[in-house]
Every structure is written in structure tokens, then in C-alpha cells.
Amino acid sequence: MAQQLPDDVVLSVENVSIVYHTSRGDVRATNNVSFQLRKGEAMALIGESGSGKTTVSLSLIRKLPKNAQVTEGRILYNRDHKVRDVLKLSKGEMRSFRWADCAMVFQGAQNAFNPVLKVRRQFEDTARAHGWNDKEAVRKRAMRLLELVRLDPDRVYDAYPHELSGGMKQRTLLALGVLLSPQVVILDEPTTALDILTQRAIIDVLNNMQDELGFSIIFISHDLALAAEMADTVATVYAGEIVEIGSVNEMFYRPLHPYTLGLLASVPKLDNQEDNMMSIPGTPPNLITPPSGCKFHPRCQFATDKCHEDEPVLVEYEHLAACWHTERVIETRGEYV
């Protein structure tokens, strides 16, 4: 049966679960994750190290490591009213999907360039791998994209990677990422290795590119301030689950989940009122033997017996959150956000 999605939804992730098989046992890195990404929307995934942000995004382009298995769910992708399940694409279809439909800039990708090839070759090779052999046309498109990321196109196109600074490499990667006009661009910690001014510049460039080209973004970041600048929608990931999802304003000013509240409260404020800062006690759980009930309960200031026993699901309150005690969070959040 043909699958249906609303016209403006480009990606629909539905109940996806992923495990890593390891000698110590199965790591349950993604549990029942669902979300929809709309045309032109930027969604940020936020959460501590090890929460499962990269795992989810790798599944979207089927680039998970060999020991990973998607145990359930489907990932629907919509282009021009044609809906396909990414998990069911053939190898050949997948290769073209990865650049032409959904491109990813990987965590730590500044080193992804082949050091012995000029930037030009990396653009040409990428194009050729997708049957695009007209070097002059590739050059034209590359010039436009390099300009969009505010680099000197002629100079960069003929440079070797080592002639570019970290920030320039990252911009070049962004340009390369959209060479084949993908509808979805996944950026995994795109600014982490860069200094703060360069980070800002990359975010500006990204916003600019997105305005111009209209793609949708999945943006993964530890940095809430950057996520706030990039995103329309924010999803908090904890222990492999989305525990809260809403618009950037809802999430940053009216959080409903204690974990989101903790992430926000642990960001130093400009007015530097230290007594308003709170850090989340403890560490993320072991995903081979995750806690019972709500996985956040061992670290949660609001936890009760119910939280030990029953796992909450996402419910619509002001927006979607998975917590038994959203009312308590609402009473308290004014002190922190």
C-alpha cells in the first residue's frame, strides 16, 4: 500500500528502536523514537554525551556501525509526493539517497577531506559518483555554494584542505553537503571543534544557506545557545528516548521535563546569578541495563515511587513531554529559566 504523509512533512521517524550488539550485552541506544520534520524546518536534538543523538541521525541515512540493528520502526521520506521507507531502500537507492535527498555532516568531519586532493576534486568526485559528469556545471554550482557560505570561491575551489582553516573547512563541507540539493541536511556537532567566534559565523552561514536553499535541518548540539539560534523545534534526548519536544520558545522558556529543565538550568546566565544555576546530579545510565520506569528517575529531583515503576510516554500538555510530574516542573521552572 502506498504510504501517506502530509505534503509538508519531509521525514517521518516512527517508533524507531536501535540496539548495538556488544560482548557485554545489547546497548539499547534508541528506544521508540518518533518525530516529524517539515519542509524548511530546523530541528535540534539536545542531550548529554551518550544520550543517543548520533545513533538516531545515523539511522536516517543508514550509516550505523555494523554491530547496530534497527529492531523496529520505519523512517518515511517524502519527496514530491513520493513516500519511501528509508529502511527498505536497496543499496543502490541508498547511495543516491545519501547525497541527493539527505546529506550528513558528521561529528568531527573537518578531517573528512582527503588531504592529497584539491577541494575541486572532492566536489567533482562527489558529483561523478551520482552520474553528474559535467565539470563546468559542477564548478558553477560549487562557486555559488562557496559564495553562499561566504568563502572566496575561486581560491577555495583550487586549494588543498591543509590550506584552509578549521572554520573554512567546515564551511566548505557545508557547501559540499548541499551540492546535490538534498531536502534534509543533518549536522552532527558542526561547530564543536571551533572557537566561539567561528562557531557564530558558521551558524550565520547556515541560516543564510537555509533561507536561500530551503532545506530542512537536523542539528545536533551540546550547546543550547547555538541550538536556540538554529532551531525552530527542539527535542531533548535522554537515554535513547525523546523525552520532550516542542518549539524553541516552548522548550527554552516553558520546559516540561525535569531533564530539559536541568539542561537549561546548568547553562550559566549572563546576569551570573549563581544561585540560579543547577547541575543535573549523577551521570547518564548504562544502556545495557537501563533503570526501570522513567529512565531519568535516579537523577530526578521530582521522582516518586511511580517513576521507579512505570515508564511515562510522551503526552501533550503544553507541548509533548514524557514525565509523571509535569505539574511540579511547571511550579518550579520559573526559578531556573
Ligand X SMILES: Nc1ncnc2c1ncn2[C@@H]1O[C@H](COP(=O)(O)OP(=O)(O)OP(=O)(O)O)[C@@H](O)[C@H]1O
Binding site for Mg ion (CB under 5 A): 54
Query: What is the rounded distance in angstroms from the CA atom of residue 50 to the CA atom of residue 19?
Result: 13
Candidate segments 6-14, 51-59, 198-206, 227-235, binder of ligand X by CB under 6 A: 51-59
Query: What is the rounded distance in angstroms from the CA atom of residue 184 to the CA atom of residue 75?
Result: 13
| Edge-to-edge order in the sheet of strand 9-22 | 25-38, 9-22, 68-79, 82-85
Pairing of strands 42-46, 233-238: parallel
Report the residue from 23, 49, 273, 279 that binds ligand X according to the rule CB under 6 A: 49
Q: Locate cell 538550568: which residue?
A: 265
Which residue's CB is nearer to ligand X, number 198 or number 286? 286
Residue 289 found at the interface with ligand X (CB under 6 A): no
Tell me the closest approach of the beta carbon of residue 53 to ligand X, in angstroms.
4
Q: Locate cell 577555495: which residue?
A: 156
Residue 27 found at the interface with ligand X (CB under 6 A): yes
DSSP 295-333: TTGGG-TT--HHHHH-----EESSSEE--TTHHHHHHHG
Report the residue from 55, 216, 236, 260 that binds ligand X according to the rule CB under 6 A: 55
Instruction: Name the residue whose CB lies closest to Mg ion.
Output: 54
Tell me the closest approach of the beta carbon of residue 287 to ligand X, in angstroms.
5
| 90 binding partner (options Mg ion, ligand X, none; Cβ < 5 to 8 Å by kind) | none
**3-class secondary structure, 103:** strand
Compute how many residues bind ligand X; rule: CB under 6 A.
16
Q: What are phi and psi of 231, to 5 degrees?
A: -95, 150
- x-or-dash pattern for ligand X, window 56-95, by CB under 6 A? ---------x-x----------------------------
Site residues for ligand X per CB under 6 A: 20, 22, 27, 29, 47, 49-55, 65, 67, 107, 287
